[in-house]
């Protein structure tokens, strides 16, 4: 993937537009219940390994930085957008957590940290926007300490929502979508990494990828990280684009129900991966190994 595409995404995300939209669409009291449950489970998984600084790679406005800090983890919050880092600083200060968080301006394509610098790394909904995703995966793996953990949240191309959306597109056809939406649908490209398209935003083009989870796991395995657990995240993400408050709320409640009681990751739109660094790369290039 060309470095110039990474530059296009960086310029888009340097501006406020997309961040404000994400914060408005994805962060509210109802979705907060899902995120809190998810971070309770993540903290319970990590805490037995000791409390140590966690890198929040691609921290955005710091919503998850705050969740980590509230659960006792010192955090290094990194993003390549100065704009959103400013918002994260305000958010963290408003929660009185300034002492627990250090901010860094930097890119996942070249992390400003030494090899093995962190026992814990979080990368939540970030890889999906990175054109040079293999480079970012190598960088994330590089900064995880031996036997340390990396938690990744990504959209799942194999989910019910993603599969139905692709099927509907095929059945209905681009011409009908163009007529309904008044604009051409984004061109979908399917690669080993997943199904991706360029969304045209007010700030510029933005890459969005629904990941092929097996590919993602295999890539991390090549860099010495093995999959310890694959969890469901939000079952559906459609609630973000819904205007009816009751329907939005119902879907978000369903997401919490699925996360807490059903747990099956394969049909869920968001998947959470808990990966652990073993000594060296897995020579078989496979994602699982026994502890
Ligand atoms: C969808 S937001 C998620 C933010 C945050 N992790 C959360 O869950 O609330 C993606 C974030 O990743 C950042 N980002 C994308 N590509 C990046 C890169 N190559 N290096 C650093 N940050 C990046 C964006 O600026 C944005 O803040």
pLDDT in tens, the chain (291 residues): 567 999 999 999 999 999 988 877 777 777 899 999 999 999 999 999 988 999 999 999 999 999 999 999 999 999 999 999 999 999 999 999 999 999 999 999 999 999 999 999 999 999 999 999 999 999 999 999 999 999 999 999 999 999 998 898 888 777 766 666 666 678 899 999 999 999 999 999 999 999 999 999 999 999 999 999 999 999 998 776 777 788 888 888 999 999 999 999 999 999 999 999 996 555 554 444 433
Q: Is 130 in the pocket of ligand 1 (CB under 6 A)?
A: yes
Question: What residues make up the domain containing 99?
Answer: 3-277
DSSP secondary structure, 234-247, as one string: -S--GGGG---HHH
Under a CB-based contact definition with an 8 Å cutoff, are residues 186 and 197 in contact? Answer: yes
CATH code where residue 94 lies: 3.40.50.150
DSSP secondary structure, 37-98, as one string: HHHHHHHHHHGGG----EEEET-TTSHHHHHHHHTT--EEEEES-HHHHHHHHHHHHHTT-G
DSSP category for residue 194: E
Ligand 1 atom at minimal distance to the Cα of residue 27: 9
Q: Is 63 in the pocket of ligand 1 (CB under 6 A)?
A: yes
Under a CB-based contact definition with an 8 Å cutoff, are residues 37 and 259 in contact? Answer: yes
Q: What is the pLDDT of residues 35-50, one digit of tens each?
A: 999 999 999 999 999 8
Is the pTM for the entire model greater than 0.95? no
Q: What is the pLDDT of residues 81-136, one digit of tens each?
A: 999 999 999 999 999 999 999 999 999 999 999 999 999 999 999 999 999 999 99
Number of domains into which the chain is organized? 1
Q: Is 108 in the pocket of ligand 1 (CB under 6 A)?
A: yes
Considering the domain boundaries, does residue 105 fall inside one? yes
Under a CB-based contact definition with an 8 Å cutoff, are residues 154 and 215 in contact? Answer: no
57 alpha carbon – ligand 1 mean position (Å): 7
Q: Where are the beta strands (DSSP E) in the chain?
A: 54-57, 75-79, 101-105, 118-124, 144-155, 189-191, 194-201, 204-211, 225-232, 270-277
Considering the domain boundaries, does residue 9 fall inside one? yes
- What is the maximum span of the chain, computed from C-alpha positions, in angstroms? 56
Considering the domain boundaries, does residue 248 fall inside one? yes
59 alpha carbon – ligand 1 mean position (Å): 6
Considering the domain boundaries, does residue 141 fall inside one? yes
Considering the domain boundaries, does residue 153 fall inside one? yes
Under a CB-based contact definition with an 8 Å cutoff, are residues 25 and 61 in contact? Answer: no
Considering the domain boundaries, does residue 83 fall inside one? yes
Considering the domain boundaries, does residue 286 fall inside one? no
Considering the domain boundaries, does residue 289 fall inside one? no
126 alpha carbon – ligand 1 mean position (Å): 5
Q: What is the predicted pLDDT for the residue at 201?
A: 92
């Amino acid at each position: 993937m060309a470095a110039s595409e990474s530059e296009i995404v960086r310029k888009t995300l340097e501006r406020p537009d997309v961040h404000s939209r994400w914060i408005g669409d994805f962060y509210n009291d109802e979705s907060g219940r899902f995120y809190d449950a998810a971070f309770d489970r993540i903290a319970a998984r990590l805490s037995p390994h000791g409390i140590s600084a966690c890198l929040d790679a691609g921290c955005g406005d710091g919503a998850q930085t705050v969740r980590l800090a509230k659960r006792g983890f010192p955090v290094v919050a990194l993003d390549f957008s100065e704009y959103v880092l400013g918002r994260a600083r305000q958010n963290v200060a408003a929660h009185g957590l300034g002492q627990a968080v250090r901010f860094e301006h930097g890119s996942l394509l070249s992390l400003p940290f030494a090899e093995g610098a962190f026992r814990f790394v979080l990368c939540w909904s970030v890889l999906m926007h990175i054109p040079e995703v293999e480079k970012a995966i190598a960088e994330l793996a590089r900064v995880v300490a031996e036997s340390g953990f990396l938690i990744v949240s990504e959209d799942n191309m194999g989910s019910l929502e993603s599969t139905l959306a692709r099927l509907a597109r095929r059945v209905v056809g681009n011409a009908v979508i163009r007529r309904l939406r008044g604009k051409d649908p984004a061109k979908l490209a399917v690669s080993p990494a997943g199904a991706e398209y360029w969304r045209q935003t007010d700030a510029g083009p933005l890459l969005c990828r629904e990941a092929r989870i097996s590919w993602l796991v295999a890539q991390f395995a090549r860099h010495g990280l093995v999959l310890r657990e694959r969890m469901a995240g939000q079952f559906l993400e459609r609630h973000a684009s819904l205007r009816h408050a009751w329907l939005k709320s119902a879907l978000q409640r369903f997401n919490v129900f699925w996360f807490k009681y059903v747990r099956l990751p394969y049909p869920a739109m968001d998947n959470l991966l808990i990966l652990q660094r073993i000594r060296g790369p897995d020579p078989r290039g496979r994602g699982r190994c026994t502890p």
